Structure 1
Amino acid sequence: MKSSYQLLQVILILLLFGCNQSKNREVKMISTISKEEFGLTPEGKMAELYTLTNGNGMVVNITNYGGIVTKILVPDREGTFADVVLGFDSLAPYLAGHPFFGALVGRYGNRIAKGRFELDGNDYQLPINNGPNSLHGGLKGFDKVIWEVQEVKSDSVVGLELHYTSQDGEEGFPGTLKVTVNYTLTNDNALTIGYKATTDKPTVVNLTNHSYFNLTGLKEDIMGQEVSILADSIVSVDETLIPTGELMAVEGTPFDLRKPTMVKKGIDQDSDPQIKIGGGYDHCWVINRQAPGMIKIATVRDPASGRFMEVFSTEPGVQFYTANFLDGRLKGKGVTYGKRFGLCLETQHFPDSPNQPQFPSTVLRPEQEYHSSTSYRFSIQ
């Protein structure tokens, strides 16, 4: 009898242990969101930092100042988590000036020639802030404003809904533009960004996110990472990185990234005229697309860590930039940000589209609604 009683005790203990383990697994799969103060802007507004965590332990930090993604923690093949985006641990360095680390960019991502465009017979002049051109929305674009934030949460999804109203004439753009951006972190380790906008008069819109990725976990530069972009051509540019109006086939050039290619291999071909102009990669690839919708457009892999990122988007183009203008003067997260220390895959319409009628249009009218979606999905390969 005594042995039977002991056996029964063991069975009960095992059952309880199994139930507890099951409960722990359930807890693990619940996504969380938290908020803390990040610092004051010069206008006296409080910037807040949101921490999104999914059931796998992936973490994304986003501040309502500029909608900036400040951190993305993902594991390597050994299960070790590390940050894979350039940025800072406090608000002050963002306020001091930075090359759009992790920022929401608008109203117009990329360059507009001489900051001028004509729409419906009216001429508009934007601020000149990049050589002779206007870049990323002007002197105070969407990356430098406080966004209103609403938290979004379920057991498997956590996210933020950001809102900003850009007034008519802001940075020279016509129309009052109401913008909504949704950041969503899912349990398949994907950070998805959805953009919506409406206007009360004709304007131009080209929204994107400007995260600088480094899948080594910020251990070294990105020259050894492998990139693929599913595109047969790029937008050819002149010496000021403004489109010439021509699309250049990638076949036989350093821009042929249709198969995974080490970044160093392409950039080292510095005899190529387009590589010389950009000082590396700073060009818009024309995505191979047969129909509208979300499709895979690019991948990045770090062979050493095994970290792998897939990029999906609804956009016709992606600006691939290899941090050609970082020079070591900026430091963050205990790291010096030198040349080639990050890479950007900015999904978007083409540069200077308002002045290039043959390009897909970036015009938004009052009866329309702007939509764009991009997803960055992380795994091990």
Structure 2
Amino acid sequence: MADTHFTPVLLALPTLTPSLALEILPHGLTLHRLFVQADGRTHDLLIGPELPSHHLTQKYTNSIIGRYANRLPVSPAPIPLSRNGHAATFTPVSNESPTVSLHGGPVGFDSLQWSPLLDPSHSILFSDAEKLHLQGGAGVVGVIFNRISEDGEEGYPGRILVEALVSLLNPSGPQVQNAHEGGELHLGSVVIVYRAKLLDEGNVTPINLTQHWGFNLDASLKDTPEHSLTVKDHSLTINADHTIALDSLGLSTGSLLPVTGTHHAHAEKPSHKIGENWPTSGYDEFYNFKPRSTPTAATRIPIAEFTSTTDLLKDVIAPGSPSLVELASAKSGLRLSFDSNQSGVQFYTNNFASEAKGARKKIHGGSGLMNGGDSYGVGSAAFLEFHEPLAAWLHPSTIGHSGNDTLLASGELYNNFVRLDVWFKSPSV
């Protein structure tokens, strides 16, 4: 396997203090490190192995997930698909169990190589107007990765082109000023935009992309009394009204469950800590967001209407992004806020992790050795994966505010974004 697959592509905001930097691996479009410098300390906000190549065995750690996030049912008969007058059949490939296909199947997008487009003009799925944002004038630093998923890959019908923009945004001026007044400092933003289209005519395929990234805002405090490898003391807000009912295998049953009055009500009181009412098995739930008060970018666009002047990025990178989810730590003073055009978020607390397996980064107090006995354990991270409801086309009652059935037909452009804003306030303030 070529070494370049594990050679990080580095994005960094230009000469700002504090600073934000991101290492991306072409293997699995993996976010290997998310560095933040604040108050004289360097933090890596993402858990994971020390060596890039260890992502081969430490799967689903900050990688892209596709063609389909989460769990789909596997049955002997092909599943019929229909959208916009097009039809196909789909046979998911089992991997988690004989009747469950997890994260796209045995060889999903996380296991494959992505090609960075060093010249954004070579992009097909981003318009000329959008590419102008990547020339540096708008305070955006980014790179577009792509790959073609062939017809029949992991049982999915249709040949599709996928492009993903991974970018950093400079902090906004007024928010930086707040830091000099004893308020929070905006350190910058991470924006990921996923695009896809079918390359063959008259077809339809399931698609539901996300980044399977896991955060611990205290893990880099390894030389302080505040160091912790649990996120139970992190506060979490999720602006959701329902979870999706799951069966014993983690598959959607097609029913919605209200969060009010349950341990899933992560927005009922300020500074709700993850460890409060901690469920025995931890969290691994999909939360449907409440209806949006303002419109957001469409998740499907007719390709005929997507011209060289179309600019779907403009509003995504604009200052003042709304917040659907917030994760914060009083110990480190760091806070993350998220926005997306997806209908919900999967919240997972690393329940299947074991300190005996895998590796922990040295910046998080680990040895960096694979299977050295000092990896990350249960509750060591908050994975926040923004996507659409599980198997939405099979369960129309679960479709959220976007109305997205998670099917893509010929003649459509798939458009999915997540924006992460990083904030800091000194714990001593």
**Under a length normalisation based on structure 1, what TM-score does the superposition of the two structures give?**
0.82
Q: 2: CA distance between counterparts of 1:324 and 1:351?
A: 19
**CA-to-aligned-CA distance 1:89-141 (integer Å, 9 cap, x gap):** 3233112x223111011100111022663213654222111233111111111
Higher RCO, Cα 8 Å, sep 6+: 2
User: Of 107, 110, 122, which aligns to 2:67?
Assistant: 107
Q: 1: CA distance between counterparts of 2:345 and 2:219?
A: 23
Number of the residue aligned with 1:160: 143
Tell me the SS of whatever aligns to 2:393.
helix
Number of the residue aligned with 1:374: 418
Report the AA paired with residue 130 of structure 1.
Answer: E
Number of the residue aligned with 1:331: 359
Q: 2: CA distance between counterparts of 1:174 and 1:217?
A: 41
106 and 118 in structure 1: CA distance in 2 versus 1, 3 angstrom threshold: same
Report the AA paired with residue 249 of structure 2.
Answer: T
User: Of 331, 335, 346, which aligns to 1:308?
Assistant: 335
Shift of 1:300: 0.3
Shift of 1:255: 0.1
Number of the residue aligned with 2:31: 69
Identify the range of structure 1 (220-229 vs 106-115) with the bigger mean alpha-carbon deviation. Answer: 106-115
Report the AA paired with residue 266 of structure 1.
Answer: N
Report the AA paired with residue 393 of structure 2.
Answer: P
Greater share of strand = 1
Tell me the SS of whatever aligns to 2:243.
strand
Identify the range of structure 1 (361-370 vs 147-156) with the bigger mean alpha-carbon deviation. Answer: 147-156
The structure having more radius of gyration, on CA atoms, is 1
**CA-to-aligned-CA distance 1:305-346 (integer Å, 9 cap, x gap):** 100000110100100111111111111313221111111110
Tell me the SS of whatever aligns to 1:92.
helix
**CA-to-aligned-CA distance 1:274-309 (integer Å, 9 cap, x gap):** xxxxx2111110011235416421000011010000
Number of the residue aligned with 2:58: 98
Tell me the SS of whatever aligns to 2:53.
helix
Tell me the SS of whatever aligns to 1:87.
coil
Report the AA paired with residue 129 of structure 1.
Answer: N
Instruction: Verify: 1:213 aligned to 2:212, yes or no.
Output: no
Shift of 1:233: 1.1
Tell me the SS of whatever aligns to 1:338.
coil
Superposed counterparts of 1:21-40, under 5 Å: 40=1
Superposed counterparts of 1:1-381, under 5 Å: 40-41=1-2, 46-55=5-14, 56=16, 57-76=19-38, 78-95=39-56, 97-114=57-74, 117-120=79-82, 122-131=88-97, 132-151=99-118, 152-154=134-136, 156-188=139-171, 189-199=188-198, 200=200, 201-218=203-220, 219=227, 220-258=229-267, 259=269, 260-267=271-278, 269-270=279-280, 279-290=281-292, 291-293=294-296, 295-328=322-355, 329-334=357-362, 335=366, 336-360=375-399, 361-381=405-425
Over aligned residue pairs, what C-alpha RMSD do you find? 1.9
**CA-to-aligned-CA distance 1:16-69 (integer Å, 9 cap, x gap):** xxxxxxxxxxxxxxxxxxxxxxxx45xx87443111111332111001111100
2:5·2:26 contact (CA, 8 Å) conserved in 1?
no
Tell me the SS of whatever aligns to 1:261.
coil
Q: Unaligned regions of 5+ residues in structure 2, if any? A: 119-133, 172-187, 221-226, 298-321, 367-374, 400-404
Q: 1: CA distance between counterparts of 2:295 and 2:58?
A: 34
Q: 1: CA distance between counterparts of 2:62 and 2:135?
A: 22
190 and 332 in structure 1: CA distance in 2 versus 1, 3 angstrom threshold: same
Residues paired across the two proteins, number: 329
248 and 168 in structure 1: CA distance in 2 versus 1, 3 angstrom threshold: same
Shift of 1:81: 1.6
Q: 2: CA distance between counterparts of 1:215 and 1:148?
A: 30
1:153·1:159 contact (CA, 8 Å) conserved in 2?
no
Shift of 1:82: 1.0
Tell me the SS of whatever aligns to 2:74.
helix
2:160·2:196 contact (CA, 8 Å) conserved in 1?
yes
Q: 1: CA distance between counterparts of 2:88 and 2:237?
A: 40
Q: 2: CA distance between counterparts of 1:266 and 1:190?
A: 31
